[in-house]
Structure 1
Amino acid sequence: MTTTNGELLGLAFMAFFIITFSSTARYYVKFLCFILFSVVCAVGPIPFMLLRPRDYRNALLPAYLCRKFGAILGASFEVRGKENINQQHGGVVLMNHQSALDLIVLAYLWPIIGRATVVAKREVLYMIPFGTASWLWGTLFIDRNNRSLARTTINKESKAINDKHAKILFFPEGTRGNGDSLLPFKKGSFHVAIESQGFIQPVVISKYHFLNSKAKIFNRGKNIIKILPEIPCAGLSKDDILPLMDRVYQQMQTEYDALSDESLAINNLSKSL
């Protein structure tokens, strides 16, 4: 049994109708497209990545493609605070974590932050071929079930902060949170910052008002990424971890509130035009 052009056109029209008028269908279709395209962007350049394994520059082309596709899906970002970046030394970069779409945020930061290395759970490594590409651009994989081993792994890598001027990117909440408040921070990234006696660079991303996983909503929206001034950790010891965590948390929460209110106003205004 063959399918006529008319039947194909009818199926295409039906799919377009469903996606246009069903927010749930649009949510799943957009996320499926995002996942598939992210894999294609990451995997496509692997042959070239093999020429310089574990090099952060391997992610530059995938990052460029990810930014462009994110804009097509409707997830656009404005980056502020680039003047606060100092590529002449390493540090720990802390970002709030909301969704798998944070991959787009990383795509914006990667070309401007310097010698970047992101920390991810070990399970990502086994998501072949995406995990292979992630390893090739220098992702640091940790076993969250073994805290001692995870801390040892990260502390060894933290030497790169001083030796190679590397920037190690963390999601200090440890898991995704898209509410009005940031989740409590975990200590790991702060141990690394104090161990290296380097700098912490907070990066705050406004709330994804366009995205609601529970309600299955994935609309268009403008978001703000703000790079805050560095916080020096020179002279601090492990006894200073809790006060440092509280200081950084309060600073990022205050900025999160302000940016989220601003992005909501911008998106509401664009809807009314």
Structure 2
Amino acid sequence: MFSSLPMAVMWMLPLGVVLLYNCSAAFRYHARFTFFTLWLMVTSSGPIPLMLLRPRNWRNALIPSWFARGLSWLLGISWEIRGMENVKAVEEGCVVLINHQSALDMLVFAELWPRLGNGAVISKKEVFYLWPFGLATWLWGTIFIDRLNSEKARSTISSTANIIRQKKVKLCMFPEGTRNDGKALLPFKKGAFHVALDAQRPLLPVAVSRYYFLDAKTKKFDGGSNIISILPPVPTKGLGRNDLDELIEKTRAIMDAEVTRISEEAVRRATARGVKVD
């Protein structure tokens, strides 16, 4: 009798997990995010030995991005990419602006990375210390910035402009500077625009529809369909610091309107499929 207890427990544990996953939104939310995090950590760090053969190369992220696209499929998240013709217009390098919503934005990068080519990301320096993931990000060319030291941050931004010019890099940045799950975009920080002006390279706005299937407050994390809209480049050639504020407002208005438009479209599509959207 007692010898059968361990076997019974072995059957009950997975059954209990399945029941909780299907019955508890909070459990499902945390379970999916745990799976999301572990998957990215393992698949990003696993190829490090191969990455060491060509350090600081954007191609090192192609394998992790392939696995991340598989993760989207496992989570029931799909992406529609629009505006690929606009990428061809920035082959000399640019600053890519993306609205920042959640950790799920990593999946957006996974979709964009092979399509952009020669990309790089600016990230806070604390990410580098999340080893081994931090090492992987360094190996695929992430540029780390010290947000607490304005002098060092300005120096990094200045050197980054040179990298864009010389290596024709497409530098990806979040102009809002922080996560935002609200309907309207937050005011844009100036850093990305300083880089574009110093490099005299265009801005490439990328609007991502709101994650209607994700809500941290209600612990909602389901699958869903998203739209990634790559908009026409915003030129900066011939512009200077006196044009900074106008450039920021113009670009923000373009992105805000597109985020609103494609978010409404994504919700309409979901509703037509019978999905309840709060």
Which TM-score applies when normalising by structure 1? 0.97
For residue 207 of structure 1, what is the aligned residue in structure 2?
210
Q: Out of 97, 102, 108, which is 2:100 matched to?
A: 97
Letter in 1 for 2:24: S
Residue 272 of structure 1 and its aligned partner are, at CA, apart by: 5.3
Letter in 1 for 2:60: N
Residue 83 of structure 1 and its aligned partner are, at CA, apart by: 0.9
Deviations 1:47-71 (A, max 9, x none): 0000000000000010010011122
Aligned residue pair count = 273
Which TM-score applies when normalising by structure 2? 0.95
C-alpha distance in 2 between matches for 1:74 and 1:184: 32
For residue 150 of structure 2, what is the aligned residue in structure 1?
147
Structure 1 runs of 4+ with >4 Å offset: none
Q: Out of 220, 226, 238, which is 2:229 matched to?
A: 226
Q: What SS does the aligned partner of 2:144 have?
A: strand
For residue 43 of structure 1, what is the aligned residue in structure 2?
45
Letter in 1 for 2:73: A
Alignment pair present for 1:136 and 2:126: no
For residue 73 of structure 2, what is the aligned residue in structure 1?
71
Query: Which runs of structure 2 are paired with 1:61-210 in the superposition (5 Å)?
Result: 61-86=63-88, 88-210=91-213
C-alpha distance in 2 between matches for 1:88 and 1:80: 18
Q: What SS does the aligned partner of 2:85 have?
A: helix
Q: Out of 19, 22, 35, which is 2:24 matched to?
A: 22
Deviations 1:104-125 (A, max 9, x none): 0001110011210001001100
Structure 1 unaligned spans of 5+: none
Q: What SS does the aligned partner of 1:204 have?
A: strand
RMSD: 1.4
C-alpha distance in 2 between matches for 1:219 and 1:272: 10
C-alpha distance in 2 between matches for 1:214 and 1:147: 33
Q: Out of 3, 6, 29, which is 1:4 matched to?
A: 6
Letter in 1 for 2:154: R
Of all paired residues, the percent bearing the same amino acid is 44
Alignment pair present for 1:266 and 2:261: no
C-alpha distance in 2 between matches for 1:158 and 1:272: 45
- 146-155 vs 63-72, which moves further: 146-155
Deviations 1:144-181 (A, max 9, x none): 11122112112202112121110110000000001100
Q: What SS does the aligned partner of 2:274 have?
A: helix
Q: Out of 51, 62, 70, which is 1:60 matched to?
A: 62
